[in-house]
């Protein structure tokens, strides 16, 4: 019962620096760049899901809005001082 309330932490990977031929990404070609938590909230009246992607410190990194029609919009947040 205790595990049902535990937050899931996912490994975040990057595969942008490789040449992809086809639909398969091989494990040797990816880099683990950190971890992320994902929360999903759904508004039943308008059919919009809000997906919050957080880092391990609970800082929100991305807010994604997913419409029931399939369209998505994302807001990426950067906390760096540069």
Residue scoring higher pLDDT (59 or 13): 59
**CA 31 – CA 33 distance, rounded (Å):** 6
| pLDDT for the residue numbered 1 | 45
Share of the chain above pLDDT 90, in %: 4
What's the pTM value of the predicted model, to 2 decimals?
Answer: 0.57
8 A C-beta contact, residue 50 and residue 64: yes
DSSP letter string over the chain? -GGGGSPPEEEEEE-TTS---SS---GGG-EEEEEEEEEEEEETTTTEEEEEEE-TTS-EEEEEEEETTS-EEEEE------
Domain extents for the chain? 1-16+29-51
């Amino acid at each position: 019962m205790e595990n049902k309330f535990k937050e899931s932490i996912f490994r975040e990977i990057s595969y942008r620096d490789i040449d992809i031929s086809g639909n398969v990404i091989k494990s040797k070609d990816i880099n683990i760049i950190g971890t992320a938590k994902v929360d999903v909230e759904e508004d039943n009246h308008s059919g919009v899901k809000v997906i919050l992607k957080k880092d391990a410190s609970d800082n929100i990194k991305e807010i994604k809005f997913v419409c029931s029609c399939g369209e998505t919009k994302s807001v990426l947040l950067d906390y760096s001082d540069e």
